[in-house]
Structure 1
Amino acid sequence: MRPLLPHLLAAQLRAGAYGAWAGGHPGAPEVGVTVPIHSGPELEEVLAKAREAGAKVTLLVSPALAPVAAQALYAATQAGHEIAGTGLPDSPCVLEAASAQLVQSWAADGLGRASLRRLAAQGLRPLPFPLETPQPGQTVRVLPESLGEQLRHMRALGYRPVPVRDVPGWRRAGPRDLLLHLYTNTVEANFAREHGVIDLAQRADAVMRVAALDHAPAPLPLPHNTPTAELHLHSPRIVGLAGRSALTAYRAYLRSLKDVAAAMQTLPELQDAQAVFAVTLFHAQLEQGGFTLLPLPPARARLYGLGFRVLRTVYGTARPPSEPQPKMAWMPREAFLAKYG
């Protein structure tokens, strides 16, 4: 059982054990940027890069570094950066004294239960696991040497790099966060892999994914062997944007259709698609956007409706959509590219 312990501990942290943080608002463009620091000169280099980029970040600093980099740590506080701990939590007060800043968070990397208990006893919370790519309301870890480049990249995608403490809605994790992680990394990931779903949601407000099909499913008025492109929503992203406002989500939806049009003209998988379609509860919005609506067979409509109810439960939107029954919305390739290309 010992090899399973790290996975079990990670799951417990995602569920809020030891006071672990979860993240922030899933529709906010802010992303918490953490930068590991290993030496005084590296800290000074990071401060210079952040100053040049006009950005503030969370610096992950070991207490052992505090005595030899006290001046730079104090300068980091004065510049508006957040100081968080990393390594063994033996003396966080040393970090606080050097930086003149209250340390609230700690990187959980490599920590066992005893160290996590010491963190909790001192009122320090483990940071969430950083993601490989930026996501609204979450954290990324950026190496010092690539800080400037990564900050520019995130901003180009519509993100606002900030210290972790400044992510809107920053909160402690709970059991629901673990459930969401498991669902996303099992059910959603398996579906995307099996159906060849292409993620087009790199921008902070992008909500669309697309799958290339080698056929035209009913009730599309096309020969069955016609290649098509099926639209899928990035569920947590659209729920997060809708949490800000319905208008924000609607505008993001329309902008994301332009991402699909660009993909249809550039990705080899979509070159032969002769139509774009979606089975959705939000068909009124697509109809306004030029799509034609088609009713689904009753049994199929009930099946999709059940799936959509599961998604609403998992992603935490209790408010039902305005349309109770799913429909298929579709548009021929030429018309779609003419409108959104």
Structure 2
Amino acid sequence: MSVPRSPARPLWPLLTRAGAFGTLHGGHPGAPHLGLTVPVLTAADLGEALAALAQAQVRATLLVPPALARQVPDEVRAAAQAGHEIAGWGVPTDLPLLEVTAGQPVTAWGLAGADLTRAHLARLAARGVRPLPLPSPTPEPGLTLQVLPGDLGRVLPRLKDLGYRPVPARDLPDLRPAVPRDLLLHLYRRLVDDRFERAHGVTPLTERADAVMRVAARPAAAPLPLPPGTPVAELHLHSPRLVGLTTRGALTAYRAYQRSLRDVARALRERPELQGAQAVFAVTLFHGPLEQSGFTLVPLPPLRARVYGWGFRLMRLVYGTTNTPSETEPRLAWMEREAFLRRHG
């Protein structure tokens, strides 16, 4: 989807995630908004992007090199008048030219690869221009997604189907400058969450914007009341997304949770690796919602309960949730496959 660039020095992508030189972070993690950025390097790119965006009735942040603004000033101004955000792209030069051409202040700039240097960041900061967040490789609520002009016709309908609302980066709800905690959260996700998911085969159920559950196929073990080795499906929450949805309201989070249970039922029927799963289970602090959804709660062995409890406290600290779970002692919640399908399928 995004433009290939020469690699950046590893230091600066990390420092910009911590807010170096005023780099922007992103928006609300529980809102369906997605900051859509489109690099337009040629007049043909610009024309193709504007046509696709107009057809989809979507506005975006157009990443415009100053050289292109010099070549096709009328087209760039027309894009701004159509409601698109004009941001710079590449080596930060000729900012006044870009602003005059667009007929609007240029407050953001896209830097990537070899262009992401201290000198370029300092030049932008001196002019009061903030670097855009580094784009996400996949759609995520509140983050930016970079899409090539030729891919817009395919990607935009898909985003709509998944419940995303593409907007210019400047229109992301709660868009703010990055802070050091954002870097720590990024590193936690990469070094802890991602490694855990790879090691345990945890996969998303859907790419939908409000999906809050993932699943892993695994053999049963105590205290599940099933013969050891029985195939089962273990549920995992998408913690940052659930935290974001909860800040929008308990009802919003509950509806997303219910939709995700239906996603689980669909996966049990359709995914080959889950065809033999005889039960669904999760280790949880949210006893009440799972009991109301038909799960049976089983105590964990004391040592495992303590270990899980420490893990849950760490996640609450990392993701910054202030909502207290319904219980303080983790338990195992489980339901037989057929009972789950009857109730949620």
TM-score grouping bracket, smaller chain normalisation? over 0.9
Matches within 5 A, 1:80-229: 80-109=83-112, 110-214=115-219, 216-229=220-233
Between the aligned partners of 1:42 and 1:192, the Cα distance in structure 2 is 38
1:5 Cα deviation (Å)? 7.7
- 1:255 matches 2:259: yes
Between the aligned partners of 2:21 and 2:205, the Cα distance in structure 1 is 35
Out of 292, 304, 308, the position equivalent to 2:308 is 304
Out of 277, 281, 295, the position equivalent to 1:273 is 277
Instruction: Could you tell me which runs of 5 or more consecutive residues in structure 2 were left unpaired when the two chains were aligned.
Output: 1-6
1:269 Cα deviation (Å)? 1.2
Aligned residues between the structures: 337
Between the aligned partners of 2:104 and 2:125, the Cα distance in structure 1 is 18
Residues 31 and 167 in structure 1, CA contact (< 8 A), matched pair in contact too: yes
TM-score (norm 1): 0.96
Q: Given the superposition, is the C-alpha separation of residues 5 and 99 from structure 1 closer, same or farther in structure 2, using an over 3 Å criterion?
A: closer
Between the aligned partners of 1:192 and 1:61, the Cα distance in structure 2 is 37
Between the aligned partners of 2:320 and 2:310, the Cα distance in structure 1 is 15
Between the aligned partners of 2:341 and 2:116, the Cα distance in structure 1 is 52
Between the aligned partners of 1:333 and 1:45, the Cα distance in structure 2 is 49
Between the aligned partners of 1:277 and 1:45, the Cα distance in structure 2 is 48
Between the aligned partners of 1:247 and 1:148, the Cα distance in structure 2 is 34
- 1:56 matches 2:59: yes
Residues 53 and 151 in structure 1, CA contact (< 8 A), matched pair in contact too: yes
1:299 Cα deviation (Å)? 2.2
Q: Given the superposition, is the C-alpha separation of residues 257 and 11 from structure 1 closer, same or farther in structure 2, using an over 3 Å criterion?
A: same
1:298 Cα deviation (Å)? 2.2
1:45 Cα deviation (Å)? 2.2
Q: Which moved more, 1:319-328 or 1:50-59?
A: 319-328
Residue type of the partner of 1:49? A
Q: Which moved more, 1:259-268 or 1:38-47?
A: 38-47
Tell me, what secondary structure is at the counterpart of 1:59? strand
1:52 Cα deviation (Å)? 0.9
Residues 12 and 116 in structure 2, CA contact (< 8 A), matched pair in contact too: no
Residues 27 and 244 in structure 1, CA contact (< 8 A), matched pair in contact too: yes
1:149 Cα deviation (Å)? 1.4
Residue type of the partner of 2:133? P
1:222 Cα deviation (Å)? 1.0
Q: Which residue of 1 aligns with 2:3?
A: none
Residues 13 and 116 in structure 2, CA contact (< 8 A), matched pair in contact too: no
Tell me, what secondary structure is at the counterpart of 1:304? helix
Between the aligned partners of 2:8 and 2:256, the Cα distance in structure 1 is 41
Tell me, what secondary structure is at the counterpart of 1:211? strand
Q: Which residue of 2 aligns with 1:73?
A: 76
Instruction: Could you tell me which runs of 5 or more consecutive residues in structure 1 were left unpaired when the two chains were aligned.
Output: none
Tell me, what secondary structure is at the counterpart of 1:31? strand
Between the aligned partners of 2:51 and 2:228, the Cα distance in structure 1 is 60
Residue type of the partner of 1:255? R
Between the aligned partners of 1:246 and 1:172, the Cα distance in structure 2 is 27
Residues 201 and 207 in structure 1, CA contact (< 8 A), matched pair in contact too: no
1:322 Cα deviation (Å)? 2.4
Between the aligned partners of 1:177 and 1:33, the Cα distance in structure 2 is 20
Q: Which residue of 2 aligns with 1:39?
A: 42
Between the aligned partners of 2:252 and 2:237, the Cα distance in structure 1 is 15
Tell me, what secondary structure is at the counterpart of 1:325? coil
Residues 201 and 234 in structure 1, CA contact (< 8 A), matched pair in contact too: no
1:201 Cα deviation (Å)? 4.4
TM-score (norm 2): 0.95
Residues 22 and 128 in structure 1, CA contact (< 8 A), matched pair in contact too: yes
Residues 107 and 129 in structure 2, CA contact (< 8 A), matched pair in contact too: yes
- 1:314 matches 2:318: yes
CA RMSD of aligned residues (A): 1.3
- 1:292 matches 2:296: yes
Between the aligned partners of 2:206 and 2:111, the Cα distance in structure 1 is 28
Between the aligned partners of 1:219 and 1:87, the Cα distance in structure 2 is 56
